[in-house]
């Protein structure tokens, strides 16, 4: 989860990237995703949107990646769903490397990224294309029972959380749908927040239900080509 500012990139005209105002909204939002990975996520969301089913994200934070999913959803005439309890992951808590004091609600003394997320969506003009599911990912997944075209796993980075996100949401991924996993670091020395997402990526491939489509930075895109998880 590199927090360093990413280089300014733009999508070459005619190559199907997000419109400039959407890319600008992505870059303006707090978050951890570099632009090259954002463009790969957007391309996956556009492709998945052709299935005519919702696009689902685990890990909203302040809406940086949600902006891209929402725009792809708008283009496809579907809805983006984004799940977060908005209290932050382990590594985002006070005293940890990825903590941002601006995300703390001074009244309750805990992180609350929901207001920043709502501002991000409002500024991008995308509020009508997103349903925010505020809660713990496994708890929301347990009551969810309809298919989705894309599952983007970018929630908690412990083995417990990353596996629960995969086990909770991958069963809802339609045939031909895309499983996108962030922060996949095969080399231990490259990892920033642990290798749990890498282990989930290996688990998905080992299941025989997924085939790798692309790799961009730490972002992996897998397609559902079989049943199960």
Ligand X SMILES: C[S@@+](CC[C@H](N)C(=O)[O-])C[C@H]1O[C@@H](n2cnc3c(N)ncnc32)[C@H](O)[C@@H]1O
Separation CA 28–CA 50 (nearest Å): 28
- CB-count exposure of residue 118 (10 Å: 0-12, 13-18, 19+): middle
Answer yes or no whether residue 217 interacts with ligand X by CB under 6 A.
Answer: no
Q: From the candidates 85, 86, 129, 157, give the one annotated as an active-site residue.
A: 157
Cα dihedral across residues 105, 130, 127, 75: positive or negative: positive
Segment interacting with ligand X, rule: CB under 6 A, options 17-25, 46-54, 60-68, 118-126: 60-68
Q: What H or E segment, with its residue span, contains residue 123?
A: helix 114-124
**The binder of ligand X chosen from 49, 54, 88, 197 (CB under 6 A):** 88
Residue with Cβ nearer ligand X (14 or 109): 109
Sorted by sequence, the CB contacts under 8 Å of residue 105 that are 6+ apart come out as 111, 112
Query: Whole-number minimum distance, CB 111 to ligand X, in Å?
Result: 7
Of 182, 48, 69, residue with least CA distance to 124: 69
1 binds ligand X (CB under 6 A): yes
Least distance to ligand X, CB of residue 75, Å = 19
Q: Do residues 22 and 68 lie in contact, with contact meaning Cβ atoms separated by under 8 Å? A: yes
Q: If you count DSSP H runs as helices and E runs as strands, how many of each does the chain have, helices first?
A: 7, 9
**Binding region for ligand X (CB under 6 A) out of 72-80, 118-126, 153-161, 169-177:** 153-161
Among 25, 35, 61, 80, binds ligand X (CB under 6 A): 61
Q: Is 86 a catalytic residue?
A: no
- Contact between 79 and ligand X (CB under 6 A)? no
Of the candidates 17, 31, 34, 217, which one interacts with ligand X according to CB under 6 A?
Answer: 31
Q: Name which of 11 and 163 has its Cβ closer to ligand X.
A: 163
Least distance from C-beta 31 to ligand X, angstroms? Answer: 3
Cα-Cα end-to-end distance for the chain? 25
Distances (CA, A) of 162 to 18, 36, 76, 80, 131: 28, 23, 28, 20, 22
Contact flag: residue 71 with ligand X (CB under 6 A):
no
Min dist CB 143 to ligand X, Å, is 14
The reply on whether position 218 binds ligand X by CB under 6 A is no
Considering the rule CB under 6 A, would residue 156 count as an interface residue with ligand X? yes
- Measured between alpha carbons, how far is 80 from 109 in angstroms, rounded to an integer? 30
What does the binding site for ligand X look like in residue numbers (CB under 6 A)? 1, 31-33, 59-61, 64-65, 83-89, 113, 136-137, 154-156, 161
Known catalytic residues are: 157
């Amino acid at each position: 989860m590199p927090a360093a500012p990413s280089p300014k990139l733009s999508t070459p005209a005619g190559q199907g990237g997000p419109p400039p105002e959407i890319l600008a909204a992505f870059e303006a939002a707090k978050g951890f995703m570099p632009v090259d990975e954002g463009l790969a996520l957007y391309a996956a969301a556009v492709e998945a949107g052709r299935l005519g089913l919702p696009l689902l994200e685990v890990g909203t934070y302040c809406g940086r990646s949600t902006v891209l999913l929402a725009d792809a959803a708008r283009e496809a005439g579907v809805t983006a769903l984004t799940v977060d309890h908005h209290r932050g992951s382990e590594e985002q808590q006070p005293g940890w490397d990825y903590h941002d004091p601006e995300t703390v609600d001074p009244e309750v003394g805990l992180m609350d990224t929901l207001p920043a997320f709502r501002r991000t969506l409002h500024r991008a003009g995308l509020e009508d294309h997103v349903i925010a599911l505020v809660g713990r990912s496994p708890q929301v997944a347990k009551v969810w029972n309809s298919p989705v075209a894309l599952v983007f796993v970018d929630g908690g980075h412990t083995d417990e959380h990353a596996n629960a996100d995969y086990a909770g949401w991958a069963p809802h991924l339609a045939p031909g749908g895309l499983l996108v996993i962030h922060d996949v670091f095969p080399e231990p020395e490259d990892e920033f927040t642990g290798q749990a997402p890498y282990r989930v990526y290996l688990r998905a491939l080992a299941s025989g239900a997924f085939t790798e489509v692309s790799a961009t930075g730490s972002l992996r895109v897998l397609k559902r080509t079989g049943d199960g998880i």
